[in-house]
Amino acid sequence: MRQALHLRFLLLLLFSACSGVPDAPAVSAGSESVVPAVQVWSHGAMVAVANPYAAEAAAAILQRGGHAVEAAIAAHAVLGLVEPQSSGLGGGAFMLVYERADGRTIAYDGRETAPHAATRTMFVPAGRPLSRLEAWQSGLSVGTPGIVALYELSHTNHGRLPYAQVLGPAIELARAGFEVSPRLAGFLERIAPFSRLDDNPATAAYFYPGGQPLVAGSLRRNPAYATTLTRVVEEGAAAFYTGEIAAQIVAAVAAKPNPGSLALRDLAAYEVKTAEALCREVAGQRFCTMPPPSSGLALIMTLGLYDRLIADRSPADAPQRLSAFVDALRLAYADRDHYVADPAFVGVPTGDLLNADYLDARVRQRFAPAVTPVPGDPGDVLRDAPIIQRWGRDSTAETAGTTHLSIVDLDGNAVAMTATVEGVFGSSRWVGGFLLNNEMTDFARQPELHGKLVANTVAPGKRPRSSMSPLMVFDAAGELKMVTGSPGGNSIISYVAKTLVASLRWGLNAQEAVNHPNIVARGLNVRVEIGVANGSEIARTLAAQGYPVQEREGENSGLHVIMVSADGLEGAADPRREGVVISIDAGSVSGNAASDVVSNIK
């Protein structure tokens, strides 16, 4: 049905058990940038994206010579149309951008922000916590969306093509119509009893025409979405954050039940934050990710802790590797849950948590399998000045309305972008052809525990903590080696860590690493995915070691990975979702308009 404009799909579905490649030694060092001697990039380009329509839109941009950032914007604008359960214009994102010419890796924080009128007790009125449904499907849950501002700023800083060409595929596809995917149709069938998606008039009309959910394979048009994006092209992000669209967003948030306080001034004041990526050396490789409020630091911690746990067990067998991975995750999660929040409001001890001396001490606190891990205290370890009592303990859950895309362009620039509306279909509130997020429920709904504020407590203008952790890996020469990330709520850390350990420590290729059974180790219980090859064996191994194992038939990962080798680019898309990989040969830049791709993907 779909052509790919001289592109080829690459979807590897083979799985293999952990190989016998020796584990790398543990090293942790500083964060100075490494600028490689720039050589001609000859590996071509690649996109790994959660839906074929979006992947082909991104590939068309790259074929025109567009930057990886422009391909990411094009892909995400299409994703907001074809998989609205996961992300869209009404949500936010973290975008990690690698510019090969100067070796910089830039972090764009397009995370949603709390309204100015938000209060720390907004989810506990009169001392009674709102139920999950009351909080999630409410106006209270909506934060100021960041994605449209992120589009504009990143395109301004990196773009090569006219904005109309970048957003053209999404606009034309919304007008012409797209085929409803089995995943979207399946969600619509299952979500109705647990949300207000089929009750709110606007979403009911779009997703449940005639009272019935959209059917897989049916054609769905969204002219309102096309109109919104057209206005963004013509007027810039101001069309979204001021004027008619902004007024409609505020009105939707203010509707009953449980209206929220998002106001016009919140939208008008929104700004994307930019910074150098958070980077550290581990075992001769450089890992770069988003700084807080992202949880990317937990991934770097996990690698450092894993290496230390396995260092005295060489050659380590499979059970030892598994237990080391589980314990590294448990330790990193405990610290993440306690310390990570918006650094503009909370002093996040990022440097302390990644300090080699602290990691050396933390592994000695390895908890017995049947004991619930608790956070460590880097202040006590490093300076004999405890900091753990500054905040109350937190274990906020995050639901999985999220997507991830990985892109490398024809010049070797790269993007790792994770985007979200938080829960599935966000808040179920609809404006201009898109859904509004429910990101405020990523804050701790109980603001105090044991008389102390939780670090991730709601505050006006604050960005909620996120498990979204796009990440890139570079080799010792500073050249790009890996682009990875995943959706999956608070399990994202486990999913992405799995791809890192499986590929960089266990010797699996990109697709094998993605296909490997997911192991989620946050808190006491260890979830093991048994519905894929070797999952049951892993569950039995960990149970025999004393871990409280919860067997899960499947997990909600959506990993998209690109790995770079001397032979070229190797991509992987998670078979648990609908993603694809498209490879583009070097020298294949064409003059076709990016919007022409629409005629090839209908």
The single-letter DSSP state of residue 214 is P
User: Is the link from the previous residue into 36 a cis peptide, with omega within 30 of 0?
Assistant: no
d(CA 169, CA 57): 6
Joined tokens for residue 206: 């779009």
Q: How many CA atoms lie within 13 A of 355 on its CB side?
A: 17
Nearest to 483 by CA among 68, 92, 28, 148: 68
Query: Which helix (H) or strand (E) covers residue 497, if one does?
Result: helix 492-504
Instruction: Report which residue type is found at 570.
Output: E
Closest CA to 34 of 108, 109, 98: 98
Which distant-in-sequence residues (6+ apart) come within 8 Å of 156 by Cβ? none
Cis check for the bond before 575: say yes or no (omega within 30 of 0): no
The one-letter code for the residue type at 511 is Q
Q: Please list the residues that pair with 90 across neighbouring strands.
A: 436
Residue closest to 475 by CA, chosen among 564, 591, 342:
564
228, 402, 418, 457: which one is catalytic? 402
The number of C-alpha atoms within 13 Å of 240 and in the hemisphere containing its C-beta is: 28
Q: Around Cβ 254, how many Cβ atoms within 10 Å?
A: 15
**Token couple for 171:** 């606009």
Q: Is the dihedral of CA 62, 67, 70, 76 positive or negative?
A: positive
Sign of CA dihedral 525, 530, 533, 538: positive
**Four-CA torsion 79, 80, 85, 91, nearest 10 degrees:** 130
Half-sphere exposure in the Cβ direction for 413 (13 Å, CA)? 21
**Single-letter amino acid, residue 353:** L
And the tokens for 498? 């799995």
Instruction: Give CA–CA dist 416/401, Å, rounded.
Output: 17
Structural contact between residues 574 and 558, judged by C-beta atoms closer than 8 angstroms: yes
Which sign, positive or negative, has the C-alpha torsion 466, 472, 476, 478? negative
Whether 352 and 379 have beta carbons less than 8 Å apart is answered as yes
Answer yes or no: 403 catalytic. no
What is the token pair recorded at 525?
């219980």
Active site residues: 402
